[in-house]
Amino acid sequence: MPDYWIKISEREDEDIRRHHYLITAENEAEAKKSAMQFMARFIDDDDNPERIEDGFMFYNKAVVVRLESIKPTTKDKFKDFLLNLHTINMT
């Protein structure tokens, strides 16, 4: 099964955080379905998030979690991205 790179944005007030995940699914539609199920439980304390287009709102619209993109990738490309993102290069 192919791998998909899922990019999710989380907005609270003016703060925006980006989260990157890898999902293995039969196709892009299944990857999106899995991402939406994951996002519905993104914040544990809110048992009843409001569904919006490509995401959810939590805590009475204080936090918005939205699926930004899905793209085919490989585990190696995803690992390389994470390594580059979390590596401090002092040279």
- Decide if 91 is inside a domain: no
Q: Mapped to the 3 state alphabet, what secondary structure does 14-53 carry?
A: CEEEEEEEEEECCCHHHHHHHHHHHHHCCCCCCCCCEEEC
The whole-number pLDDT of residue 37 equals: 95
Encode pLDDT of 26-44 as tens digits. 999 999 999 999 999 998 8
- Decide if 27 is inside a domain: yes
Q: Is the pLDDT of residue 90 over 90?
A: no
Q: Are the CB atoms for 79 and 3 separated by under 8 Å?
A: no
- Decide if 44 is inside a domain: yes
- Decide if 90 is inside a domain: no
The whole-number pLDDT of residue 46 equals: 87
The whole-number pLDDT of residue 41 equals: 92
pTM value?
Answer: 0.86
* Number of folded domains that form the chain: 1
The whole-number pLDDT of residue 83 equals: 93
What's the CA gap between 44 and 33, in Å, rounded? 19
Which residue segment(s) compose the domain that 81 sits in?
A: 3-85
Encode pLDDT of 60-89 as tens digits. 889 999 999 999 999 999 999 999 988 988
